Structure 1
């Protein structure tokens, strides 16, 4: 599951060049970016297990069944890929199939006519589109058109809690923001930090803003921000979100010294499973790492999980989710017609097959397709997997993580301002004004 954590943040490309360390695997020969032999297509993908092995096996199975439409694959380390794909697309030498995270980067590609509009193809293949959760298409859609097919699994942000500490305190998990503020007092009174937070990583703090803004203002507030509408960051819901966060900080809602704790080290997770913190808002991928490293905390049934609470008077649907809706694949506009047809055939017959679905479930992930309840229920982790599945499937809106949805420039400004907001070195109004200046960048 740690690979999921890397994937979650991988949209934000902060530009230092990394040695390319690419590994090419080919069943039909790779003749360079954007070209392949035998009427097939080329695809670039990320290294890292278990995703790399699962994807390569899917490609091998497809190539065996479709000798005239083979897919050649090249694997890159995460940071190297982000540098390489940007250069290749700019030079008109992209692979046929472009792996990505949707959101701001896909929007830039689409508006520059570098990837194909797949809307009519999905209309002609409703069985393909209907296979996926409806909510995962948001990050693949630009100006009402679909430019990518979703792939892999969903990773929502979840409110985790320590059942043992809650039983000791005689309290229930929070259903409202008022409940959260009450629990802060309860656990501080017990000498336990209410919430673990790896604040030095910044994107962990962002999760709080994502959910709060949705619960307070509804999904439309960030939609306006994503679309770059004038003064979208100045919406009153943004100010209220920042105000509530600073009230939580002032009430000692987070572990002392949270700004020096990193998420990459899993120190925030350790605070939860060792009983030093009662709750943690984090990605679903942390379930697997806590199961692995948590001293049987998960196996002994001490880990609880719920959706983010409601806010009194808020406009957001309490079923809305935030996080990583999926990973995505687009088709390069520079590819030949034959390559594009091979890519579409792979999209239809090669991704998220029954074998692939089983492989993802066995790694503790929830694939983004309907009708897999039996597979999830057969897992030892069925309670959590079914929770994530139902949460994702039933979400009226699933908001992609902000640092992925926004452009890289706006995303870095966001993380910097979030850090200052949580440290109370800027006011909620200043946060909104600073972010408003990034619209259109």
Structure 2
């Protein structure tokens, strides 16, 4: 891991970024003490990617600002970095072992790699001090943040539900199409909408993670089953070149070949696809919980009114269960291994301020899914979000591929799906994915 990260940028670039971005804020000798410990002072740096205008981003930034107001003895240098550049910025400072004190990290391969590189320290003491908070998270919330027995390295700020099937009820009713519950019914709906001049499924795959995160994880699980996938990840009696996974990729290609997606889906982003769908130009969209937040902030009541939400249809003969959603714990705030003393105390306090019960409630009321049990006030969220929240609670959760694959293998499947949309063969994509995963596990 350390070797791989060190290749990201040159030493000169790393040093420049270290100096500009971190400013030595992790040195306990310059921080004094914690703002919550006898009035002593502390200084911490915080990095996150909640830089946008969506309701969740605003909610998280407000939680950080509230912490700053309530803790005047803690100097908080908080940087909101745009999503598109966030991973690169974080990887750059990781290569030099100069992480911010507190930083937002994605559950899965990214947090695993930072742990493997010795860049994280646990936040278990927060859970021990607040058992009611810990025990109120949904099942599996800490699975991808627990790298050793008895230790927790972050608390998720979201449920990463990635494969809701949104559909426009008015378009379905007007064209005599029933909501598909099987693959056969889905393909029939695709044909009908195409015949009517309506795009069946909106997709914005310019950033290639979209098709992987929103479609292939859930679709493939219906073909292969979850157990097969977890074995393939470990190379334990299963391989991504197995016929069942090739069949799953072939199902995705079947959508492409039957013009399920609008022209140029690889050249528009997810936000553009959301707008395309909400404007009534597409009958369906497979997307994650983030779409709920985005639509709540950008769409009119009239645009949202006909939108309903369900799960992807079952696939006849598949090994996986129907009625499931790909997902799991979303990202959370982590603590740098190098942060000590008063700075560590302040950092843990900030993590709890954002991730604790009040923070979870604020994020949920921003129309963003959380993995935290609560009584949701229907009047404070959009009707669509309320439907999706209840659907998620009732649905089984299956793995999102890039939360379990290595970074290299995740890139292979992301780019591979773009390739499938441009004519590549499922067998070739499967082999590239398998080779990438094997290389990563052998390092």
Common fold by TM > 0.5: yes
Selected match of 2:215 from 184, 208, 212: 208
Please give the root-mean-square deviation of Cα atoms over the aligned residues, in Å: 3.7
Selected match of 1:254 from 255, 258, 261: 261
Inter-partner Cα distance in structure 1 for 2:418 and 2:251: 15
Which residue number in structure 1 is paired with residue 174 of structure 2? 168
Selected match of 1:330 from 329, 334, 357: 334
- 2:355 pairs with 1:360: no
- 2:389 pairs with 1:389: yes
Cα distance, 1:108–1:77 mapped onto 2, change above 3 Å: same
Q: Secondary structure at the match of 1:304?
A: strand
Which residue number in structure 2 is paired with residue 93 of structure 1? 98
Q: CA deviation at 1:107?
A: 0.9
Selected match of 1:276 from 268, 271, 281: 281
Q: Secondary structure at the match of 1:32?
A: coil
Which residue number in structure 1 is paired with residue 408 of structure 2? 409
Which residue number in structure 2 is paired with residue 423 of structure 1? 422
Inter-partner Cα distance in structure 1 for 2:183 and 2:9: 38
Q: Which runs of 5+ in 1 are unaligned?
A: 1-12
Q: CA deviation at 1:262?
A: 0.6
Q: Secondary structure at the match of 1:232?
A: coil
Q: CA deviation at 1:141?
A: 3.2
Inter-partner Cα distance in structure 2 for 1:159 and 1:22: 45
C-alpha contact 1:34 1:94 (8 A) present in aligned 2: no
Inter-partner Cα distance in structure 2 for 1:51 and 1:37: 33
Selected match of 1:129 from 128, 134, 143: 134
Q: Secondary structure at the match of 2:308?
A: strand
Which residue number in structure 1 is paired with residue 25 of structure 2? 32
- Equivalent positions of 1:183-202 (< 5 A) are 183-202=189-208
Which residue number in structure 1 is paired with residue 399 of structure 2? 399
Q: CA deviation at 1:437?
A: 0.5
- 2:312 pairs with 1:308: yes
Selected match of 2:372 from 369, 386, 410: 369
Q: CA deviation at 1:433?
A: 0.9
Q: CA deviation at 1:279?
A: 1.2
C-alpha contact 1:97 1:329 (8 A) present in aligned 2: yes
Cα distance, 1:233–1:363 mapped onto 2, change above 3 Å: same
Query: Which shifted more, 204-213 or 109-118?
Result: 109-118
C-alpha contact 2:160 2:328 (8 A) present in aligned 1: yes
Cα distance, 1:150–1:226 mapped onto 2, change above 3 Å: farther
Inter-partner Cα distance in structure 2 for 1:275 and 1:350: 36
C-alpha contact 1:133 1:393 (8 A) present in aligned 2: no
Which residue number in structure 2 is paired with residue 42 of structure 1? 44
Inter-partner Cα distance in structure 1 for 2:132 and 2:227: 29
Which residue number in structure 1 is paired with residue 63 of structure 2? 58
Which residue number in structure 1 is paired with residue 227 of structure 2? 220
C-alpha contact 2:122 2:154 (8 A) present in aligned 1: no
TM-score when normalising by structure 2: 0.79
C-alpha contact 1:21 1:77 (8 A) present in aligned 2: no
Q: CA deviation at 1:435?
A: 0.7
Selected match of 1:74 from 75, 78, 86: 78
Inter-partner Cα distance in structure 2 for 1:391 and 1:41: 42
C-alpha contact 1:198 1:262 (8 A) present in aligned 2: yes
Which residue number in structure 2 is paired with residue 150 of structure 1? 155
C-alpha contact 1:117 1:145 (8 A) present in aligned 2: no
Q: CA deviation at 1:54?
A: 3.4
Per-residue deviation, residues 4-30 of structure 1 (Å, max 9, x unmatched): xxxxxxxxx9979899799999xxxx8
Query: Which shifted more, 178-187 or 328-337?
Result: 328-337
Q: CA deviation at 1:378?
A: 1.7
Q: CA deviation at 1:198?
A: 2.3
Q: CA deviation at 1:215?
A: 1.7
C-alpha contact 1:154 1:326 (8 A) present in aligned 2: yes
Q: Secondary structure at the match of 1:160?
A: strand
Inter-partner Cα distance in structure 2 for 1:24 and 1:57: 22
Which residue number in structure 1 is paired with residue 38 of structure 2? none
Q: CA deviation at 1:342?
A: 4.0
Query: Which shifted more, 384-393 or 59-68?
Result: 59-68
Inter-partner Cα distance in structure 1 for 2:372 and 2:255: 37
Q: Which runs of 5+ in 2 are unaligned?
A: 1-6, 35-41
Q: Secondary structure at the match of 1:161?
A: strand
